[in-house]
């Protein structure tokens, strides 16, 4: 079955970004001139997945507004002859986005379950809102690669990268049974292990394609504390030989972290058609003083 739908969990409180996240939801923080969540919607468009379910917190109506039509603004831009800006505005409402509200912060699996009415037991893509992945036009994007592997194998597949030292404990960690051409068969998963309990250096990063039936499995999970863990279902799949992981081309940014967010802004600004050249000159100049 083809992947047609994607879930983007984006209901986190963003406390690491206080005070800005007091009134502005974290997915709306800009990378150059676009909210970071729009880059994820663009990543999906490039993959050919055209139905997006964004899981938001009850206070996030500004995200809904961002993806909705704004007739007054559009008319104004047209009557002022600002066609290029009109096109930019139209592009933000060209995504097929639906919203689900996560009322309590009860973990990643809790967020996914909020989208159940749109997904049922179909396979779906899952893209975590805290991560942006850039792929150059000539590269296969991370999501394109995952969808391709799912199409060929029918198995759930998650993106992975190698991490070292203290970083190992920040991510879900994979036990690897075998690997061919960057595609791995996973035999176990532990969520954020202590360094001495890690199974490998392969971390789970926030891009997944999950096979049909996952939603039903999630519903059977028991909360640990307040949270339900997707990792528990993934570990079950891994133990049955039904889970793959894959490396990917391109560059990942952890925009849920202050330094990662600033790095994304610097690198996207350098690539930006309008300001890239001048910004590069500025960076070169300022770096002489560092």
> Contact positions toward ligand G1P, by CB under 6 A?
108, 128, 131, 171-172, 191, 203-206, 231
Q: d(Cα 277, Cα 271) in Å, to the nearest integer? A: 8
Give the helix ranges, DSSP H, for the chain. 36-47, 61-66, 71-79, 83-92, 107-114, 116-119, 142-153, 214-219, 230-239, 258-271, 276-287
Q: Provide, rounded to whole angstroms, the least separation between the CB of residue 71 and ligand G1P.
A: 37
By beta-carbon proximity to ligand G1P, the closer residue of 77 and 228 is 228
> Phi then psi for 83, rounded to 5 degrees?
-65, -40
Please give the structure tokens belonging to residue 217.
């499995």
By beta-carbon proximity to ligand G1P, the closer residue of 32 and 204 is 204
Residue of minimal CB distance from ligand G1P? 172
Q: Provide, rounded to whole angstroms, the least separation between the CB of residue 229 and ligand G1P.
A: 7
By beta-carbon proximity to ligand G1P, the closer residue of 204 and 244 is 204
Q: Provide, rounded to whole angstroms, the least separation between the CB of residue 195 and ligand G1P.
A: 15
By beta-carbon proximity to ligand G1P, the closer residue of 63 and 203 is 203
Q: Provide, rounded to whole angstroms, the least separation between the CB of residue 97 and ligand G1P.
A: 21
- Contacts with 108 (C-beta within 8 Å, 6 or more apart), sequence order: 9, 128, 227, 228, 229, 230
Q: Provide, rounded to whole angstroms, the least separation between the CB of residue 201 and ligand G1P.
A: 13
By beta-carbon proximity to ligand G1P, the closer residue of 191 and 267 is 191
Q: d(Cα 159, Cα 206) in Å, to the nearest integer? A: 7
Partners of 99 in beta bridges: 54
């Amino acid at each position: 079955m083809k992947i047609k739908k994607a879930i983007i969990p984006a209901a986190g409180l963003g406390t690491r970004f206080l005070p800005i996240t007091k009134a502005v939801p974290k997915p709306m923080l800009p990378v150059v001139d676009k909210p970071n969540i729009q880059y994820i919607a663009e990543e999906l468009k490039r993959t050919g997945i055209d139905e997006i379910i964004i899981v938001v917190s009850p206070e996030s109506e500004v995200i809904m507004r961002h993806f909705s039509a704004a007739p007054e603004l559009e008319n104004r831009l047209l009557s002022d002859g600002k066609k290029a800006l009109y096109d930019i505005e139209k592009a933000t409402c060209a995504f097929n986005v639906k919203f689900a509200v996560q009322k309590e912060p009860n973990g990643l699996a809790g967020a996914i379950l909020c989208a159940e009415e749109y997904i049922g037991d179909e396979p779906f893509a899952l893209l975590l809102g805290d991560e942006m992945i850039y792929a150059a036009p000539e590269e296969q994007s991370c999501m394109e690669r995952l969808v391709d592997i799912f199409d060929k194998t029918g198995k759930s597949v998650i993106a992975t990268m190698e991490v070292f030292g203290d970083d190992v404990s920040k991510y879900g960690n994979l036990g690897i049974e075998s690997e061919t051409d960057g595609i791995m068969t996973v035999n176990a998963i532990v969520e954020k292990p202590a360094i001495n309990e890690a199974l490998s250096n392969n971390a789970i990063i926030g891009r997944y394609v999950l096979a049909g039936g996952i939603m039903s499995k999630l519903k059977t999970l028991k909360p640990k504390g307040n949270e339900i863990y997707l990792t528990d279902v993934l570990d079950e799949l891994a133990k049955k030989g039904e889970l793959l992981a894959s490396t990917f081309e391109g560059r990942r940014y952890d925009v849920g972290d202050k330094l990662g967010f600033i790095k994304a802004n610097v690198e996207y600004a350098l690539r930006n058609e309008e300001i890239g050249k001048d910004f590069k000159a500025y960076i070169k100049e300022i770096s002489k003083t560092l």
